[in-house]
Amino acid sequence: MTLVDNDFCEVVQAVRTILDSATLNQERKRCTEKIEGLKEGDPSVSIPIAFKLITQNDLDVSHVGWNIIEHVIRYKWSTMDPTIRVTIRNGVLQCMSDGRYSLSNSDLPVKTAMSRNLVAMMEQEWPQNWPELFNQFRSIVLDPNCFQQAQMVFIVLKRLVENVITFGTISDSQRRRDLSTSVNQMMPDLLAMTIQRIRMCIESGHNDQSVLVARSAIELLSESVDWVVGRVLEETVDSLIEVLCSYLQVAEHGIYEHAATCLWKIASRKRAKTDETPIVVSMFKDAPMRAILNAASLAAEVSAGSPDHYKYLKALCDLLTALGVHLSEVWGHIKNPPPNFSMYLEAIGSFFVHPSMCIRSEVSQVFVTFANHEKISQSPEFMACVKHVVANIPKNIEKIGSLTDNASLTSHYARMDYEDDVEFQRDFMQLRDRVCRFIRESATRHLDLYVDQLNEWVTRVVNNADTISTTEWESLKRYVMTFVTAAYQFGLVNDRVDQVFTYLFNSLMTRLAVLNSPETMNLMLSIPSSFLQLFDRHTELLPIFFDQLKRILMISSDAVEIVSLKRHAISLMLKVSSSTPNTIQGFAPSILQIVTEAAPFVSVMQRANLVQVLGALSNLVQVEQRTFFLQSAIQTNIDFFLSQRCAEILRSTADLMAFIGLTSQPDVTEYPESQHYLNRLDLKAHLCALDGILQSVNTPEGQSNALFQLLAPVIPSFFQLAHLLNSLHHPANVALIHPGFGPGVLDISAADRHTIYCAVMEAESSDSNDSGGTIKAVNPIHRLQRYISDVTDMIQSITGLCGSKLYVDFYRQPSVTEMLNALLVDADVILDYRMRYWLRRSWKPLIRSCPPDQYAAIMPFAAGVMSHMHQRFQARWASIDDVDYDAEPTKEEIFLEHMTCILSREYTGFLKTLMMGDFNLSKDDNRKQPREIIDPQGVALLSDRFIFSSVVASLCILINCKDTHTALRATPIARVVFGTTFEVFDDNMATHVLVNIIQSLQVHGADEVALGPLLSLIFQIYTQLRPSHPILIEILQQVPETTPDSVGQFDERILGMARTEKVVEKNRRDVMRKMLRPLIAKNIGEQHKRPSHLRVLQPLIRNPKCNSENGSGNDISFDGLFKSS
């Protein structure tokens, strides 16, 4: 037995030992190291063993042999002896030529391994040293006796296209260009060759051999048709479409789905429109269109009972959808509609009534595209099609079926399409949105059609209101809102349309007056809200409308359905008051009377919401009446905050805790008669009313706000309450909480915590928690936890609105500095989750709204905020850096990281607003200099040395933190801040900034989106600071792989570029990338990817001559290898 035989046996044994589940880890490690040692060893030893391994019947052993060969090709090819290279090439080709593998997927691992090896050799040698290869491929493909070998050629070419074009895995730029050029040059011949072989398969019949070879050929075409140049594809497109359509009704081995996918890729091409015109028109010819539609018809007939046929139907639907969208893009380049356009529209229309919501959602995209196209929308064919589409709109905006429903075909298809109700709801919303867009786009040209449909639908609903389902009410509401809004927006409301709208509105009001079911009344009430613009022409309808709302509000009942109905009526009253101010101005006294009369019949919280109606009305009345309206709205609330009772509540944190019941035994039942329940409800209602009035009242420009005169005495109470709410988290106050509640009552709720766990994104909390006086939480701890959260939300909003709505009057108060400090005194104990809302709702508007002549009043507050946030981020990110991620992180560690990311993003938005105002970062950032971008308030804030230091330090932390999203947001802010203040940097600050920003490359450098802006920022920092701070050159000398000479040359070049007025952004980034490359982080794939070096070949100057006579004398002949015996 030879040495090779001994090694071969040992390798086989090692493979089997590794795969044996009973093997000890140490033994498995030893066997693995043996195989790895063979791969890394002398190729003259490993290659013979590998070729013996691949001949074994054991697929696991054979797989190891192929891995060894591929490893040698990728990592040792350029250094090994040429004779070994020829041996490898000939051996791989011999395995391909033997054809000892099936055409089916059973031997797919073997065929995949062979293709990987051959493509790896092509990447090394083709086309310069292997010019005859494609001609030899062609001779095999066109040999009618070669089936396995022809399939292998298609597999190899597909992998080559994937590596070179689709995925671009070739790292060497010169080889990548050469291979890309060669692949593009061979495409005409490749398409012709592949089509010819498919024709041969068609002629051979639908036997397994022909179908499987044709399927592989179609897979190669699918990988190629979406990127190949249009003029190349145009030459063969008719033949290509013909052969693909031939398989649309052939089910063997699923080839029909592959054919449909390839046609879809042709129809989905995104290339120059002029190049695509012949390709699109070709698919509309008689034979292709009829083949596609016939296949779709057959698939539709059996799709309900066959998941495979339904999947195929969806593929054909995708094809027709892509074809329609593509047609709209090239329509301007064709003189007339393509042939069979009417047939196409008829087919798309039939898909629009298919039970599958997934299919309807896809084809609706075509209708929206055509309706939005100026020329297609006016074509006679589409005008006729719209009538069929409009008739089916109601069924497509109503949600029918669910994953648990067995009564409808829609539900049956939904179970095949979706894993859960979330996906089902997402697709339904997409379908509904597309249909609504179609209504908007087609309303102008088909106005009468929509008016008649609306009239018929609303009339039917009014006459049968008690039998209409909730889903149909919702769909009608969406339809009315979309169409009526579009009609008014586009000026389509002529006399006839106005007459119909008025009739429908009156019909709804009349029916509403006699309905007895509160649920039906609530549903019907949503329909008239879309007709509010009628009031501009018909003010006589206002009394009718408000009388109905008044009747609803004065219903004497506390039933849940009635409470919900009243809430709806109040929201409608507020909507009318704020959306049609000029129209209802004369009705303000009447609305005031309605509010006054209805107040005793609504809940405490709903009464607070009614205050917003009066606030909106106060914007409409004369100045002398404004105070009266506002006083009528909130005098009761003001009296509460001026009362002795409130003074006792706000005296200390302990008093507030006693008032809301934190220090008392929890009441599990907590009936409405409970004193603590009434206390909490009372405080919340007063805050809700004041929050609503502040949001509703407009700020008169250059004038004093009448609301300030009423609120001035109680404004300090708001800030005192804010202080007390924040101080609840002090340890001394936590100790006062009754043991029945425990300290967890002050923590973040389970729902909010879950949001942070699930996604690092801003989780919007619901600010509307009006439950009509009914608390629905499941236990007293959750109830009180939710209550504290709601009250804190309201006080955050109120304090912020004091700045933005009361404006000058607020900042001129003598105690404004003291009130602002009350918001910061407890900052250290504010939870991170709450801190983000303090920043957004309160602190940002308080600082941002300050008039320039009052900046002195907010400077201490702003300095406190900036300093605190810097210290908080410093501590939080340091804690995250200390987490041992080699061990399984705890839930609290995960929560800390996610919460810190979210808070960091919030603070970058806070800084952006203060420093840059409303400047649009995405569009204008690089077009202007920092001094042109910075907001005047930002200049004023940065003039304070304490604020300036805190902002600079915070930006360094945010850019260098582990959250790339935060770094991306902070980078343009840093550009502006550093670019306007660099003249006041000292050596320490300059060094600190440059070091931190360079270190950020080690954190975010692997992200291409973040890398570019960071390199630009480093360029700016260095060019601006280097002239005044020569010490910065010492930092660059610490970069690995640099020398003093290279750093000096870089420094000289950078300073030269700095003296140039305009330097192309790409050049800035390139020069910094070249210098700092050793510090730029690599992505995960690059970190663990072993570099492979391709052979250096002569440049590819002209097309290689595909003549076998030019080949090397050692080349093996494909003709000889693949010759049929």
> Does residue 428 or residue 772 have the better pLDDT?
428
Give the pLDDT confidence score for residue 597 in this predicted structure.
92
Q: How far apart are CA 222 and CA 236, in angstroms?
A: 14
Which tens digit of pLDDT belongs to each residue from 394-420?
999 999 989 988 888 999 999 999 999
318 Cβ contact partners less than 8 Å away, ≥ 6 residues apart: 260, 264, 362
Q: How far apart are CA 106 and CA 1071, in angstroms?
A: 52
Which tens digit of pLDDT belongs to each residue from 818-853?
999 999 999 999 999 999 999 999 999 999 999 999
Give 397's DSSP letter: S
Q: How confident is the model at residue 927 (pLDDT cuts 50, 70, 90)?
A: low
Give the pLDDT confidence score for residue 700 in this predicted structure.
74
Give the pLDDT confidence score for residue 1088 in this predicted structure.
74
Q: How far apart are CA 941 and CA 862, in angstroms?
A: 8
Give the pLDDT confidence score for residue 2 in this predicted structure.
58
Give the pLDDT confidence score for residue 601 in this predicted structure.
93
Q: At what angle do helices 421-442 and 380-391 cross, to 10 degrees?
A: 130
Q: Which two tokens stand for residue 907?
A: 């603070």
Predicted confidence (pLDDT) at residue 862 exceeds the cutoff of 50: yes
Predicted confidence (pLDDT) at residue 215 exceeds the cutoff of 50: yes
User: For the ranges 52-56, 770-774, 816-820, 864-868, which has the lowest average pLDDT?
Assistant: 770-774
Give the pLDDT confidence score for residue 1123 in this predicted structure.
35
- Average pLDDT (568-586) is 88
> Does residue 765 or residue 640 have the better pLDDT?
640
The pTM of this model reads 0.85
Q: Which two tokens stand for residue 566?
A: 């009243």
Judge whether 667 and 674 are in contact, CB under 8 Å: yes
3-state DSSP assignment of residue 501: helix
- Average pLDDT (313-328) is 95
Give the pLDDT confidence score for residue 1107 in this predicted structure.
45
Q: Which two tokens stand for residue 1009?
A: 């989106």
Instruction: Write down the mean pLDDT value for the chain.
Output: 90
Q: How far apart are CA 459 and CA 928, in angstroms?
A: 58
Q: Is the backbone peptide bond immediately before 127 cis, with ω within 30 degrees of 0?
A: yes
Q: What angle do CA 991, 995, 1000 make, to 5 degrees?
A: 155
Q: How confident is the model at residue 300 (pLDDT cuts 50, 70, 90)?
A: very high
Label residue 1073 exposed, middle or buried (CB < 10 Å: 0-12, 13-18, 19+).
Answer: middle
Q: How far apart are CA 675 and CA 678, in angstroms?
A: 5
Q: What percent of the chain stands above pLDDT 70?
A: 94
- Average pLDDT (632-651) is 95
Q: How far apart are CA 780 and CA 103, in angstroms?
A: 68
Q: How far apart are CA 634 and CA 612, in angstroms?
A: 10
Give the pLDDT confidence score for residue 671 in this predicted structure.
60
Give 285's DSSP letter: S
- Average pLDDT (500-529) is 95
Q: Which two tokens stand for residue 664?
A: 């008392």
Give the pLDDT confidence score for residue 768 in this predicted structure.
35
Q: What percent of the chain stands above pLDDT 90?
A: 76
Give the pLDDT confidence score for residue 1125 in this predicted structure.
34
Give the pLDDT confidence score for residue 1108 in this predicted structure.
42
Predicted confidence (pLDDT) at residue 1104 exceeds the cutoff of 70: no
Give the pLDDT confidence score for residue 742 in this predicted structure.
85
End-to-end alpha carbon distance in the chain: 33
Closest CA to 996 of 1017, 1010, 1027: 1017
260 Cβ contact partners less than 8 Å away, ≥ 6 residues apart: 248, 295, 312, 315, 316, 318, 319
Closest CA to 683 of 664, 713, 712, 655: 655
Closest CA to 243 of 196, 210, 278, 208: 196
SS3 for 94-148 is: HHHHHCCCCCCHHHHHHHHHHHHHHHHHHHHHCCCCCCCHHHHHHHHHCCCCCCH
Give the pLDDT confidence score for residue 580 in this predicted structure.
82
Which tens digit of pLDDT belongs to each residue from 728-785?
999 999 999 999 888 889 998 888 887 777 655 443 333 333 333 333 445 788 889 9
852 Cβ contact partners less than 8 Å away, ≥ 6 residues apart: 936, 937, 940
Q: What angle do CA 217, 222, 227 make, to 5 degrees?
A: 130
Which tens digit of pLDDT belongs to each residue from 534-569?
999 999 999 999 999 999 999 998 899 999 999 999
Residue 108 neighbours by CB distance under 10 Å: 12
Give the pLDDT confidence score for residue 493 in this predicted structure.
96
Predicted confidence (pLDDT) at residue 1063 exceeds the cutoff of 90: no
Give the pLDDT confidence score for residue 1044 in this predicted structure.
92
> Does residue 83 or residue 335 have the better pLDDT?
83
Judge whether 532 and 574 are in contact, CB under 8 Å: no
**What is the torsional sign of CA 124, 129, 134, 137?**
negative
283 Cβ contact partners less than 8 Å away, ≥ 6 residues apart: 241, 263, 266, 267, 289, 292, 323
Give the pLDDT confidence score for residue 765 in this predicted structure.
36
Which tens digit of pLDDT belongs to each residue from 947-995?
999 999 999 999 999 999 999 999 999 999 999 999 999 999 999 999 9
Give 1079's DSSP letter: G
Predicted confidence (pLDDT) at residue 696 exceeds the cutoff of 60: yes
Q: What angle do CA 681, 687, 689 make, to 5 degrees?
A: 100
Which tens digit of pLDDT belongs to each residue from 128-158?
999 999 999 999 999 999 999 999 999 999 9
Predicted confidence (pLDDT) at residue 159 exceeds the cutoff of 60: yes
Give the pLDDT confidence score for residue 394 in this predicted structure.
96
Predicted confidence (pLDDT) at residue 925 exceeds the cutoff of 60: no
Predicted confidence (pLDDT) at residue 115 exceeds the cutoff of 70: yes
> Does residue 348 or residue 1091 have the better pLDDT?
348
Q: How far apart are CA 621 and CA 628, in angstroms?
A: 10
Judge whether 612 and 695 are in contact, CB under 8 Å: yes
SS3 for 428-471 is: HHHHHHHHHHHHHHHCCCCHHHHHHHHHHHHHHHHHCHHHCCHH
Judge whether 184 and 246 are in contact, CB under 8 Å: no
Output Rg (C-alpha) for the chain, integer angstroms: 37
Q: How far apart are CA 422 and CA 945, in angstroms?
A: 52
